[in-house]
Amino acid sequence: MNIILNNNQESFEGDRLTVNEILKAKKFSFKMLVIRINGKLVKKDEYDTAIVNDGDKLDVIHLVSGG
């Protein structure tokens, strides 16, 4: 399937994947994330269940301390 990940077109094996499956495939190991599917917030306890479908827009923001 093809999705828009952080404004870039990306391809993944399979028709629908959970957020966690995509994070694993992308080897994202960050701790503090803010994730949206098509603009809608996905909370951390939903990463195993929230589904990303073909054509979806997925935003992953990785937060680090400092300011």
Partner 1 sequence: MTFKEIKNILKTKKVGIAGAGGLGSNCAVALARVGVGTLIVADFDVLSEDNLNRQYYFLDQVGKKKVVMLAENIQNINPDVKVIACDVTLTEENIPVLFRDCDVIVEAFDRADQKKVLLETVISCMPDKKLVAGVGVAGWGHNETIRFRKTGNIIICGDENTEVGPDMPPMAPRVGIVANMEANAVMEILLADECVS
Interface with partner 1 (CB under 8 A): 6-7, 31-34, 36, 39, 41, 43, 59, 61-67
Query: How far does Cα 54 stand from its chain's mean position?
Result: 13
What is the nearest approach in angstroms of partner 1 to the Cβ of residue 44?
9
Separation between Cα atoms, residue 56 and residue 67, nearest integer Å: 32
C-beta closer to partner 1: residue 25 or 41: 41
Q: Which residues, 6 or more positions from 43, have their beta carbon under 8 angstroms from its beta carbon?
A: none
What is the nearest approach in angstroms of partner 1 to the Cβ of residue 2?
18
What is the nearest approach in angstroms of partner 1 to the Cβ of residue 45?
12
Separation between Cα atoms, residue 64 and residue 51, nearest integer Å: 26
